[in-house]
Amino acid sequence: MGILSWIVFGALAGWLASIIAGNNQRQGCLMNIVVGIVGAFLGGFLLNLITGAGFSFSMGFNLTSLIVAVVGAVLLLVITGAARRR
């Protein structure tokens, strides 16, 4: 995927994750993009650890990659939210 695709995909995944995590009002569009992209890498890494199978986001936009990215982004938001509370 090209850089523009990563930005759009990250924005979508980060926005969905922020809605699920309940902090949609506190983060802007740029933060949604960053959380979505980092969450995609985190989700892919965790999926690789759990299943042992490689996962590639280079296949393009599909539902599986969106789910993995959203799950990773939600985990990232939960972890950073817990760290901020301490």
Going by pLDDT thresholds of 50, 70 and 90, the confidence category of residue 81 is confident
Helix (H) or strand (E) holding 41: helix 29-51
Q: How many domains does the chain have?
A: 1
Rg (CA), the chain: 12
Q: Which domain holds residue 56?
A: 3-85
Computed over every residue of the chain, the mean pLDDT equals: 82
Q: Which two tokens stand for residue 61?
A: 């936009």
pLDDT (0 to 100) of residue 16: 92
pLDDT tens for residues 43-67? Answer: 888 888 888 876 565 556 778 888 8
pLDDT tens for residues 19-29? Answer: 998 887 777 78
The pTM of the full predicted model, rounded to 2 decimals, is: 0.81
